[in-house]
Amino acid sequence: MSHATVHVLNGPNLDLLGVREPHIYGTTTLADIEAMCRDVASGRLEFHQTNHEGVMIDLIHAARETGGGIIINPAGWSFSSIAILDALKAFDGPVIELHISNIHARDAAHRHSVMSQGVTAVIAGLGAQGYPVAVQAMYRLLAT
């Protein structure tokens, strides 16, 4: 079991998963996703969601204190937040950017994530199943 903490951070509107645009994001709720992550966790796991950019930055900064890695679904901030990108660049551990939909197959406004330049890996298009995949991958990254 890893002693490092995996921080799963979720951005704006992800608290509405299951009801918001289910044709894109599915019907799985964020609580369901958290349970899926905890089921596969082999170490400490912190799970958060915020609709406030400053709170997200504070969560990233706090993750620096515990080590480990970050899995972040920046949601709408993916395409615009230099402040979150800068916070991620200041994090020393691995970072996995996660998207429920395949952003590369979406409209122009949802196609290019500025976060990608500051992360270790990107998972997109696996739906809610991307989360447990990311958690398992993160523990493997932390073990090497």
Q: Would you please indicate which residues are annotated as catalytic (active-site) residues?
A: 25, 99
Amino acid at 37: C
Dihedral in degrees, nearest 10, Cα atoms 121, 63, 14, 18: 80
Radius of gyration of the chain (CA): 14
Amino acid at 98: L
Report how far residue 134's alpha carbon sits from residue 142's, in angstroms, rounded to the nearest whole number.
Answer: 12
> How far from 51 is each of 11, 16, 92, 133, CA to CA, in Å?
6, 11, 24, 24
- For the chain, the distance separating the N- and C-terminal CA atoms, rounded to the nearest angstrom, is 13
